[in-house]
A and B are shown apart, each in its own frame.
Chain A
């Protein structure tokens, strides 16, 4: 029993401290992401119609996404089914990151969305995106395009 106690007590303490730290880091990161979103939405809102704001609200603007957008790439946000963990995000990042058309990729677990920015002048069709998602082990529910919204 002493052996069990000597293992379980540190395990529980480790659980409590890690959960608290993880929660703190999670909230901290979300504050940063929120700042990025705010900046991005404000920039686009001054340039295009109100409809485009709904697209940018979907987009999670990491520094890589911002840089690729600044470079002139079009963005896609795809709603993904089944992304519940970081392995899911890693898989999607690996599969889409290998495509020469893709300049930046980010899977947001909170919004359950795949965020893509293409190289300038490049794109992937909805079918290609769906097929690549299957290779990663997931399924696309819907694809939203920034350029499509801008033409409305």
Chain B
């Protein structure tokens, strides 16, 4: 059984917070549902515990996930980042899946460029999950904010995400979505128009 993999975890919210900060992320897309809690001990890396449930394939990966900030560019009106992300853990069958458990790992790269009006993000990842299979994915996300929200305002973004999962029945899919952002809370609601599935992402930073 080949995996049809992966989520857009890092593109949703910055995968590294401020020093001493915790972030909780929930994501649900056309293939999986993910919960991630990460802590940032340094400006250049974070460490998280992640559980990703592949609903149709009846297994989940529980992993320890480090993220490293490879490069950050600052400007008066923009910020851009390149991150390396990996994870090691255990893949386990769910819902009576008889395949048991096995070691799993993944590695990927995340890049984003953002102003107060425009967003561009890219994420690629490869996963190896033993007898559950392996697979790769990549996605691009573009966003536009109809107005520039100030501090503590409600920020609204119109976004579209295009993902490429070679092993999937529909290798390329498109998800228009809305991003709502206020203070430490981010909520995204979208719908995949190729493989009709809702996208629901939530991030809370504390």
Contact surface of A with B, Cβ cutoff 8 Å: 3-4, 7-8, 11, 14-15, 18-19, 21-23, 25-26, 29-30, 33, 79, 81-92, 94-95, 98, 106-110, 112, 134-139, 141
Q: Are A91 and B17 in contact (CB under 8 A)?
A: yes
Contact A108 B150 (CB under 8 A): yes
A residues less than 8 Å from B75 (CB atoms): 81-82
Q: Which of B30-38, B56-64, B130-138, B173-181 contacts A (4 or more CB under 8 A)?
A: B173-181
A91 near B21: Cβ-Cβ < 8 Å: yes
Q: Are A108 and B151 in contact (CB under 8 A)?
A: yes
Q: Are A11 and B18 neighbours in the complex by a CB distance under 8 Å?
A: no
Q: A22-B147, A136-B18 are in contact. Are A86 and B183 (CB under 8 A)?
A: yes
A105 CB to nearest chain B CB (Å):
11
Sample of 15 more A-B contacts, CB < 8 Å, known A18-B156, A82-B79, A135-B43: A8-B193, A11-B176, A11-B177, A14-B178, A15-B158, A21-B154, A22-B156, A23-B147, A29-B153, A85-B114, A89-B151, A90-B205, A112-B77, A135-B18, A139-B74
Are A136 and B74 CB-contacts (below 8 A) given A11-B190, A85-B114, A109-B116?
no
In the complex, whether B13 has a CB less than 8 A from a CB of chain A is yes
The answer on a CB contact under 8 Å between A8 and B151 is no
Which B146-182 residues have a C-beta within 8 angstroms of A?
146-156, 158, 176-178, 180-182
* 0 or 1 for each of B117-146: is its CB under 8 Å from A? (1 = yes): 000000000000000000000000000001
Q: Do A91 and B18 touch across chains, with their CB atoms under 8 A apart?
A: yes
What's the minimum C-beta distance from A143 to chain B, rounded to whole angstroms? 15
**B196 adjacent to chain A (CB < 8 Å):** yes
B185: nearest chain-A partner, CB-CB:
A86
- State the Cβ distance, A104 to closest chain B Cβ, in Å: 14
B189 interfacial by beta-carbon distance below 8 Å: yes
B156 to chain A: which residues have CB within 8 Å? 15, 18-19, 22
Please, which residue of chain A has its CB at the minimum distance from the CB of B147?
A: A23
Main secondary structure of the interface of B (DSSP, over half): loop
- Residue B96 lies at the interface, judged by CB distance under 8 Å to chain A: no
Residues of B within 8 A of A15 (CB): 156, 158, 178
**With a CB–CB cut-off of 8 A, which chain A residues contact B186?**
87
Q: List 22 A-B contacts (CB under 8 A).
A: A4-B193, A15-B178, A19-B147, A19-B156, A22-B153, A22-B154, A25-B154, A26-B154, A79-B76, A84-B77, A84-B114, A84-B115, A86-B152, A86-B153, A86-B182, A89-B183, A90-B184, A134-B43, A135-B43, A136-B19, A137-B18, A137-B43
Q: Kindly state whether residue B16 has any CB partner on chain A within 8 Å.
A: yes
B108 in contact (CB, < 8 A): no
Task: Give the residues in chain B near A107, CB-CB below 8 Å.
Answer: 151
Q: Which of A3, A19, A26, A95 is B196 in contact with, Cβ under 8 Å?
A: A3
Cα separation A140 to B181 with both chains bound (whole Å): 24
B36 → A minimal CB distance (Å): 16
List, in ascending order, chain A residues with CB within 8 A of B14's CB.
87, 137
